[in-house]
Amino acid sequence: MYLENPKTKGSGIMCAIPQAKRCPIKCPECFFNSGRSYLEPLDQNLPNMPDPEDIQRNGSVVVRVNDGNDSSIEIDEVLAKTSAYPLRFFNTIFPVRLDKFPGPVVLTINPGAMTDSDFHRLLDYPRNLMFVRFRTNAWNLPLADKAVAEYVAHEIPVVLTFMAYHGEASIPEAHRPSYVYRKRTQNSYWAITTAAWREVMRRHEDNPWVHSCGKIEGEKGKTGCRWCGNCLREFFATRTRMGKAEN
């Protein structure tokens, strides 16, 4: 039975995970591997795939491939099992052979241990690169500025995804005033405050290529996909760039 991601509910996006196992990458603070995912227990609920007939009955639904795990892992199986979805995009942390994906792809450029220290730079920028995702917190902003400069120079959108932490100890003491313990979608985390989020976004307020994942990432905001629209906007822009019809 398909389980809908509560974060994407009402957004025009459904999620698919073709793999049957937990993601082996084990990035720190990973929602999917945290034990609190909406898909727990994972051994009973994976793979998690929307019914293609339901998708076809509503042709406007876009399928996000891998809201958990990574689309580059068992890629042949991922492509085969999602081929029935006419509108799909992929998520990966691996910057190699992005053009192997037949549709738009989102690349997380500072995954795991790279979050606060470095980011992936590309030798070329494939037409199917939908946007890059930068894992953002209150203390890696100089790195974020460098990543923005790198990708915006090539007219690649950058989506700042604000990290949330299970424990306050993961946050440097000097930056703890920028975080508040609150419920996000289903679970509670230490998440960035509205005031701190606004300070970050003010750095990029005149840059049309930079966006926040979620309308407002703070205690007063709506962080669900319904209130955002980044993925839908950039999905169809990328398909147009790739020369594909939108229906």
19 lies in a domain?
Answer: yes
Q: Is residue 176 part of a domain?
A: no
CB 37 within 8 A of CB 69: no
State the residue range of the domain holding 88.
Answer: 13-159+210-216+225-242
Check whether 67 has a pLDDT greater than 90: yes
Residue type, 30: C
Residue 218 has pLDDT above 80, yes or no: no
* Runs of H (alpha helix) within 42-181: 42-45, 52-57, 75-81, 141-152
Asked if the model's pLDDT at residue 128 lies above 90, the reply is: yes
User: What does the alpha-carbon distance between residue 137 and residue 78 come to, in Å, rounded to a whole number?
Assistant: 31
pLDDT tier, 242 (very low <50, low <70, confident <90, very high otherwise): very high
Across the strands, what pairs with 232?
none
Beta-strand pair 62-65/88-92 = parallel
- Taking every pair of Cα atoms in the chain, the longest distance, rounded to a whole number of angstroms, is 51
Structure tokens that stand for 65 in this block: 């491939």
* 92, 100 Cβ separation under 8 angstroms: no
Q: Does residue 201 or residue 27 have the better pLDDT?
A: 201
Phi/psi region, residue 187 (left: phi>0; alpha: psi -120 to 50; beta: rest), is beta
pLDDT for the residue numbered 247: 40
Binned at pLDDT 50, 70 and 90, residue 89 comes out as very high
User: Does 189 fall in a domain?
Assistant: no
Residue 3 lies in a domain: no
- Whether residue 190 contacts residue 165, with contact meaning beta carbons closer than 8 Å, is answered with yes
Task: Calculate what percentage of the chain has a pLDDT beyond 70.
Answer: 96
The per-residue pLDDT for range 40-54, each reduced to its tens digit, is: 998 899 999 999 988
The better pLDDT of the pair 182, 72 is held by 72
Query: What's the pLDDT at 32?
Result: 75
Q: What does the pLDDT average to over 93-115?
A: 96
- The pairing of strands 129-136 and 105-108 is parallel
β-partners of residue 14 are 63
pLDDT band with cut points at 50, 70 and 90 for residue 56: confident
Residue 164 domain-assigned? no
Cβ neighbours of residue 17 closer than 8 Å, sequence gap 6 or more: 39, 46, 47, 48, 49, 65, 66, 67, 68, 69
pLDDT (tens digit per residue) in 170-213? 999 999 999 999 877 777 889 999 999 999 999 999 999 999 99
Strands in 193-244 per DSSP E: 210-212
Q: What is the pTM of this model?
A: 0.94
The CB density around residue 213, as the number of other CB atoms within 10 Å, is 18
Domain count along the chain: 1
Residue 221: predicted pLDDT: 66
> What's the pLDDT at 173?
98
Q: Is the pLDDT of residue 246 over 70?
A: no
Element (H, E) at 182: strand 179-183
Q: Would residue 203 count as lying in a domain? A: no
- Whether the predicted pLDDT of 28 surpasses 80: no
Q: How many CB atoms lie within 10 A of CB 1?
A: 5
Average pLDDT across the chain, whole number:
92
Tell how far CA 240 is from the center of its chain: 21
**27 lies in some domain:** yes
22 occurs within a structural domain: yes
Six token digits for residue 163: 């990290």
